[in-house]
Amino acid sequence: MIWSGLIECGSKRRSRARRIVAITLGLAVGMGLTGSYAEVNQPVFPSARGDQCVEPVDVMRRDHFEFLKHQRDKTVHEGIRTPRHSLAGCIDCHADKDPQGRFLPVNAKGQFCQSCHVYTAVKIDCFSCHAARPSERVSQSP
Nearest-5° Cα angle at 57, 141 to 42? 110
Smallest gap from Cβ 18 to other proteins, in A, equals: 31
In the complex with other proteins, which residue's Cβ is closer, 43 or 83?
83
Write out the residues near other proteins by the rule CB under 8 A.
72, 74, 76-82, 88, 91, 128-131, 134-135, 137
Smallest gap from Cβ 119 to other proteins, in A, equals: 23
Smallest gap from Cβ 108 to other proteins, in A, equals: 12
The DSSP code sequence of 11-74 is HHHHHHHHHHHHHHHHHHHHTT------PPPPP--PPPSSSS-SS-HHHHHHHHHHHHHHHHHH
In the complex with other proteins, which residue's Cβ is closer, 37 or 65?
65
